Structure 1
Amino acid sequence: MEFRTSPTAFTQWEGDTLAVGVLQGDPAGWLPLLSARFSLDLPALLEKRRFKSKPGDCLALHLPAHTPSLLVLVGLGEAGSLDGAALRSAAAASAKAAAAAGGALGLALPSEGLDPAAAATAIAEAVRLSLYKDQRFKSEAEPQPLPESVTLLGLPEAAGAGLSAVAATCAGVELARELVAAPPNAVTPQALADTAASIATDFGLELKVLERDDCEALGMGAYLGVAQGSDLPPKFIHLTYRPAGGSSRRLVLIGKGLTFDSGGYNLKTAGSQIEMMKYDMGGSAAVLGAARAIAELKPADVEVHVIVAACENMISGNAIHPGDILTASNGKTIEINNTDAEGRLTLADALVYACNLEPDAVVDLATLTGACVIALGEEIAGLWSVSDTLAAALVDAGQQGGELFWRMPLHAAYKQGLKSPVADLKNTGPRPGGSITAALFLKDFVTPDLPWAHLDIAGTVWSDKGRGLDPAGATGFGVRTLVNWVCLGGPA
């Protein structure tokens, strides 16, 4: 699918399909122009079809005697509420309605008050990602017609300068979606390592995979404690992008890599979505997807390290028990009071390893707590950080990519809930504020004063029904935020 911008007015578009965004009240007067072009009384027709120009309204009109032969109208709501999110939703709805026609699609969405280049990127990403369909595990794939080209009408050609990055970013999101959506017998710790190897080979990155013995030598008792219950060996993945001209910044991205989480001896029970715990590696999918995009985009002056402590959390005669004490690679001892709070244990050793790289900033992503889902729902991820500057940069990068974050407190008093009578700390605190105590647990494994942020994406990594540009299933959440933060030179 090829994207371009064009100052051509939608009244002059001669392609196969024309999709037009309509604001409530039609303040720009677009409906009379469309009525004249297609010899229609559109206001009367829209009233008959109960099209109110509300967000989510979509109407496809087949006009075989005209060119374009398909007209798609998409509601945008009130003019004052038009923003990047509204553009993305409208572009996604337009693309889905127009996809079956194939051919050339002209897309006209009002973007007054928005940066033209940012608007173009938002629209193009929404079109491509909304048409993604994963059919890898079906015996018979369904036909999937796509537009051959998409022209963003009414935007200056200069606004299309950033469109060259859309393909790389979307490819990263699609990789993350495929990793998360795949079953746990397909995406294993070895499969994640193989994915990292493919990225390294295709784009010239450096790859180091630490085996169990290597991790033992580094004292990674927390990570290996989780991994010891599975027959599948753990894989500690370290993928590195170095720009050709050297760099003045070093960033580390860490993704939680539990390819399946049974809960261990604190077994997940009926109603706990144990069958969905294939997506507990959503953080690793996000950082690998971001690595794939970053490697293709080749940002200058920034070195990026991607780390995944991949393993399974299973039950066996070798699995950790509730009550066990593990020692992390920084010497901290951890009493296990819940084997289903395993992700923070793998992240603990990953954070210590990352800090030893002496980076300028560290960001970890994890499907860490159900408590975050209760607090923020399925469209907003939680963000904890010791750095105001880093937190602001990540929120801004997320907004640019259509991903929402809400900064949560690192309330020091809640650390009391992690006190253990027999070890340095427990791996879980009390039920209230569970996402906060999880972040406070991780903070114990980060070098003091190092800019660090923890992103809990438990609610956003999967959508049962689909939303906006995300189809039902894996969303690839986090990739666009990371790519924007790294490639746009956001401060640490």
Structure 2
Amino acid sequence: MKFELSDQTCLTWSGDCLVVGLSEAALPLSGPLAALNDRVSGLLQELIDEAEFTGKVGTKAVIRVGNDVRKLGLVGLGAADSLNADSLRRAAATAARLAKQEKCASLGLSVPLGDHDPALVTQALVEGITLALHQDNRFKSDDADKGKTTLETIHLLELPGQEASLETASAICDGVILARELVSAPANVVTPETLAQTAQDIATAHGLDLEILEREQCEALGMGAYLGVAQASDLPPKFIHLTYKPADTPSHKLAIIGKGLTFDSGGLNIKGAGSGIEMMKIDMGGAAATLGAAKAIAQLKPSAEVHFISAAAENMISGKAMRPGDILTASNGKTIEVNNTDAEGRLTLADALVFAEKLEVDAIVDLATLTGACIVALGDDIAGLLSDHDDLANAVATAAETAGEKFWRLPMEEKYFEGLKSIVADMKNTGPRPGGSITAALFLKQFVESTPWVHLDVAGPVWTEKESGYNNPGGTGFGVRTLVQWVLGM
């Protein structure tokens, strides 16, 4: 599939499928749309009438035209005054799926530019189309699309000269697709070693620096919290430190940390029936987003230096497993009473946060599929954002809004740390059930001394069971676009 940035309009383009984005305000037809209706002998108005098309978000319709345009499609953009980058992504996704469904080899997409920046419109359209058409069929023996007409060329109409935006969108989509495929793969395919090899592939392809710390090196650094989680598995842990450095003096020095539990059995506090244990392959969604962001950032070459970190491991059951009641010592010397082995992600993040701060970075962002409590609070589509540093929290939230990923800031209520206090150690790894996402963030805060830090709890949005917007069932790659936007904005 390739993109063409065309100076043609909906009045001049010819090909398999012409799709026009219409807002609610575009009806009744006037101006260029009325001219398009004349071009297709009134079939545009006929389509609007027969489909009762209103222009509302998510609506679509298609009709056979013939001649120089075989099919004519419509996608709804909603209210004209609420049109933004993400509604354009979603409309583009709808258009692409419509063209594919109609067995079209070429698509001409026309959306009203209005006062919108053509560069941002181009990026949004490319992202929506690319992500909507991505299908992960690696583990199916029969390819359902084999032999079918495939969408080969997408012409973005009235958007000539936007090659830079096309390249930006393509790099970001590369990262999102990598994250999707890592999350969707089963735990017998994606292991800590696989994540390390993925980091190596990125480093080799794009000239990044890579350090993989083995168990013995982590022991020497005192990473008792991380290694406590990893000790039950037959698969060795891999502490991944991938670094992008700009050609010139960096404008900022940043760290991104992703939770990298490639499978979480719950440990001796095993996940029981109905717990979703079969889905615990997704517990490395934070690491997947981190590596996806690394792949994109390596291509986009921002001015900031970025450290991508993941303490990759499995949380398994064996005679070597950490036990409830064990006391672990993290690499900053703080002791942790393990009162629940199924709250393991925060233990791995603890040592990763200490490691990142020792790099003397200007800011740290961590992503983790950390708590079911965040899903209870915010649902499957919205991630939690927690921080006691307003400027950094606002910067990440702004990046997320631009990227079209939904976050909601939760309070860092210090009083809730009372629930983490232990009579035998500095803290416990879990507190009471209420406010579980907040207490998890307060636990992590104990391993960051003074560096501005944001914690993103992405437990809900990293996976979807159904087609939605530009996401297909499976891993979503959530977080990649926010991270990239944040770094590019620094």
TM-score range, shorter chain: over 0.9
Superposed, which structure 2 residues align to 1:239-258 within 5 Å?
Answer: 239-258=242-261
Structure 1 residue 133: Cα displacement: 0.2
Contact 2:75–2:91 (Cα < 8 Å) also in 1: yes
Correspondence for 1:280 among 269, 283, 298: 283
Tell me the equivalent position of 1:86. 87
Superposed, which structure 2 residues align to 1:62-101 within 5 Å?
Answer: 62-63=64-65, 65-99=66-100, 101=103
Structure 1 residue 103: Cα displacement: 3.2
1:306 to 1:313, Cα distance in 2 relative to 1, 3 A: same
Superposed, which structure 2 residues align to 1:324-335 within 5 Å?
Answer: 324-335=326-337
Contact 2:90–2:128 (Cα < 8 Å) also in 1: yes
Correspondence for 2:40 among 38, 41, 59: 38
Structure 1 residue 41: Cα displacement: 4.3
Structure 1 Cα separation of the partners of residues 236 and 124 of structure 2? 41
Name the SS for the 2:77 alignment partner.
Answer: strand
Structure 2 Cα separation of the partners of residues 434 and 227 of structure 1? 23
Structure 2 Cα separation of the partners of residues 43 and 356 of structure 1? 64
Amino acid in the other structure paired with 1:290: A
Contact 2:126–2:170 (Cα < 8 Å) also in 1: no
Amino acid in the other structure paired with 1:452: W
Structure 2 Cα separation of the partners of residues 396 and 342 of structure 1? 30
State whether structure 2 residue 120 is matched by structure 1 residue 150: no
Tell me the equivalent position of 1:471. 472
Tell me the equivalent position of 2:11. 11
Amino acid in the other structure paired with 1:259: T
Tell me the equivalent position of 1:304. 306
1:407 to 1:114, Cα distance in 2 relative to 1, 3 A: farther
Structure 2 Cα separation of the partners of residues 234 and 70 of structure 1? 54
Worse-superposed segment, 420-429 or 393-402: 393-402
Tell me the equivalent position of 1:220. 223
Name structure 2 gaps, 5 residues minimum.
Answer: none
Structure 1 residue 99: Cα displacement: 2.4
Structure 2 Cα separation of the partners of residues 215 and 451 of structure 1? 25
Amino acid in the other structure paired with 1:147: L
Contact 1:4–1:160 (Cα < 8 Å) also in 2: no
Structure 2 Cα separation of the partners of residues 56 and 166 of structure 1? 22
Correspondence for 2:373 among 371, 374, 377: 371
Name structure 1 gaps, 5 residues minimum.
Answer: none
Tell me the equivalent position of 2:439. 437
Structure 2 Cα separation of the partners of residues 489 and 92 of structure 1? 26
Correspondence for 1:405 among 404, 407, 426: 407
Structure 1 residue 192: Cα displacement: 0.6
Tell me the equivalent position of 2:185. 182
Contact 2:253–2:362 (Cα < 8 Å) also in 1: yes
How many residue pairs get aligned? The number is 485
Moved over 6 A (4+): none
Contact 2:47–2:61 (Cα < 8 Å) also in 1: no
State whether structure 2 residue 424 is matched by structure 1 residue 422: yes
Structure 1 residue 407: Cα displacement: 1.5
Structure 1 residue 159: Cα displacement: 4.5
TM-score (norm 2): 0.95
Structure 1 residue 102: Cα displacement: 4.2
Structure 2 Cα separation of the partners of residues 111 and 420 of structure 1? 59
Name the SS for the 1:151 alignment partner.
Answer: strand
State whether structure 2 residue 289 is matched by structure 1 residue 294: no
Superposed, which structure 2 residues align to 1:328-367 within 5 Å?
Answer: 328-367=330-369
Name the SS for the 1:11 alignment partner.
Answer: coil
Structure 1 residue 246: Cα displacement: 3.2
Structure 1 residue 322: Cα displacement: 1.0
Contact 2:24–2:77 (Cα < 8 Å) also in 1: yes
TM-score (norm 1): 0.95
Contact 1:38–1:66 (Cα < 8 Å) also in 2: no
